[in-house]
Structure 1
Amino acid sequence: MITTVTLNPAIDRSYIIGNFQLDNKYRINDVTVTVGGKGINVAKTASILGQKINATGFLGGLSGEYIKRELVKLGISTSFVNIDGESRNFTAIIDPVNKTETTVNEVGPFVTKVELTRFIKEYIKILKYSKIIIASGSVPKGVPKTIYRDMVKIAKDNNVIPIIDASGKFLEEAIKAKPYMIKPNISELRDLVGYDLKNEFEIVHESRYICKQGVEIVVISLGSEGAIFATKERVFKAKAPEITPVNTVGSGDALVAGYATALIENYTFEDAIKYGVACGTANALEKEIGYVDKKNVERLYKNIQLLRLE
């Protein structure tokens, strides 16, 4: 079973507005409402791909109740910890004319020490039934910067594979515990290493340096340019066929879901890379965040270009 951890879930709203302009009024018919947060996007995609999923994290208020109901409808098991605060909202404005995406992301609720302790106890229970744990996304107020590091250590102590998709100080701390895989985008990698990565050589150099610190796989998502997958021994760049994207929000989460699914299904490393990138690309063809059409995934998978860099 794959367990996803979403510490800061959200209700996602995507608005399609052609030629979106500031300081203007819009009456919108094209609205997509889904449940989200990076870990939940992973859970939704992996479930579509046929995996048994359990989703955990924090949920609060009416928004939290809605998120849980929607996940249950999708056949995803849940073991969230209830908190007093209200789960957040995430809004994306997609402009297909100017090819822009504007996002408005609420910070989220405050988590108390008692609620955090309840979550850790629940997390330890879940590990007994999990093969892979994927912890992704932002962290609500009140949760320490070591949370992902602590989750990695606990997972490894229980022989569960930990995958982390975080940023900033949370990612920096997580690396200290040597997770199996991390997946920063290029901007998050720049923040991590502290300088502007101007070319592919520098991206590969920094990714391999992280691998030397004990992370087995570093995945750098490059948007339309594909992704770089680095280990201590090998580095690959994967690029999907050119598409006309509808909504790229959640594509990195779909990539993680695809790679984890391939890992469960015992794909080779190279084929797992291609499957992950195919899922990320397939997500970009959909209005709904965290959704893929399996037919698109299979079609794209056969056409992923894989280049050995080192």
Structure 2
Amino acid sequence: MTDIKPRVFNLGLAYDDVLILPQHSEILPHEANLETYLSRNIKLKIPLLSAAMDTVTESKSAIIMARSGGIGIIHKNLTIEDHAEEIRLVKKSESGIVKDPITVAPEQTVADVQDIMKRVKFSGFPVVENGRLVGIITGRDLRFEKDPRRRVADVMTKNVVTCSRDTTAEEAEVLLHKHRIEKLPVVDSDGKTLLGMYTFKDISKAKTFPNASKDSSGRLLVGAAIGAGGDYLERAEALLSAGVDVLIVDTAHGHSQGVINAVRKIKGSFKKHDFDLIAGNIATAGAVEALAEAGADAVKVGIGPGSICTTRIVAGIGVPQFTAVLN
């Protein structure tokens, strides 16, 4: 049996026990910059993320968090497919340029398009045949269409305004305004191979939420919580394929061998994906060292500090939060 050496701290402080000492400053409030790194590679405009709880964070709240400059962490009390779908909803909610737009085929029906519109909440799609753009179909094309069996090819707009891969968001906005359209497909030099799509909605959102947390493709940042056992690797793979930016190995006791092994396994198994990995929850310097050595890009500090958390009361385990962070 491993020997346990008790250690007693002289003082443990919660945030309610301390105040910041005011000092001389030459910085005006409007000059303050709250940008900070969430993890090794992910920077946020404001240092806020939402809890990975099923009563707090799914796609809707994650979108609001990212638009505001923070990030939402979607909880793990979902099936793997539903979990991945929540990530996709955030990543597709807006982007600088939609690199993989949903497309439809000329032989599909009006009913097919209407079903897709309801499911993904988009109002229009490029029409592609054999990888080449042949038209576009939007709500405007369907507004007065009464026969759901009609083919897309019969109702789509065939003379499509497009732009090249070098078109900037500002130039795309000018074209959208000039032609009074809401979607602008991006095509290759051949004028037909679809590469992506600009949307008026995405460009407008970028102006409305200038501090939004976004990835290199202009999509909103989003995180997801996973466990350290069971289907955690399968879940991680599905979330990464859906585009998640940060995974959090979210457990009650992060300084455990199972969590350390999971961190090492995740970092070693998905090197082809660009993501950061956070692990927790922990409350000691030793836990930070162990998880960092295993490959964690950040740690989640706090055992029992939440207003509704009962860990300290029930189990008598934890460290006051200010002291935990300080250590």
Q: TM-score range by the shorter chain?
A: 0.3 to 0.5
Asked which structure has the greater CA Rg, the reply is 2
Q: TM-score, normalised by structure 2?
A: 0.31
More strand by share: 1
More helix by share: 1
